[in-house]
Amino acid sequence: MRVLGVDPGLTRCGLGVIDAPAARTLTLIDVSVATSSADADAPDRLLAIADAIDAAILKHRPDAVAVERVFAQHNVRTVMGTGQVSGLVMVAARRAGLPVVLYTPSEVKAAVTGSGRADKAQVAYMVAKLLGLDEPPKPADAADALAIAITHALKGGGRTAASGASATPAQQRWVEAERAARRRN
């Protein structure tokens, strides 16, 4: 299973792609951070991020997209930008026929480190260890995107976006067949 993990942000949007072909086997495919200038108009900033998301989906052909769920912060502007980018990710994934799953920050921390209260340094350290890297990816947005992808892989990746329920074996085979057909085209 190939997973695109997205740490949504309007200034910096982390994009991490991993392969998880077997339980607990994780391989880094790509990691990047899409950026937009804080001086640009919001529509232009969103377009820049949307183009990067579309390019990542086209280039890496993930089987699923995992996104960090927007949570309330004190800075309303940051929450708005993050929410807008999350919407872009979900639309891009759906247009590509991909399932989308949202994870809370505490779910990601717990899956990667074992503690839902881990700090960013602990998450980055474990991302490096789980992917066999010499050092944590930088900037933090890159490590966070990979942590989100890892979370999806470790949780089995079989949840459906609509209900959050586990897919049956028949549903999973159907999804895998559709993905294989998409990759051939």
Q: Which residues participate in the annotated binding site for Mg(2+)?
A: 7, 68, 141
| Residues belonging to the chain | 185
- CA 152 – CA 165 distance, rounded (Å): 14
Residues flagged as binding site? 7, 68, 141
Catalytic residue list contains 144: no
Which of these is catalytic: 51, 68, 119, 135?
Answer: 68
For residue 136 the two structure tokens come to 């944590």
- CA 16 – CA 60 distance, rounded (Å): 10
Catalytic residue list contains 178: no
- CA 101 – CA 85 distance, rounded (Å): 15
Which of these is catalytic: 30, 39, 135, 141?
Answer: 141
Catalytic residue list contains 68: yes
| CB of 64 closer than 8 Å to CB of 4 | yes
CA 9-163-25 angle, to 5 degrees, is 65
CB < 8 Å & 24+ apart, contacts of 25-29 = 26/130, 26/131, 26/150, 26/153, 27/131, 28/131, 28/132, 28/133, 28/146, 29/2, 29/60
Q: Which residue in this structure is represented by tokens 């919001």? A: 42
Which of these is catalytic: 7, 19, 63, 144?
Answer: 7
Residues acting as catalytic residues: 7, 68, 141
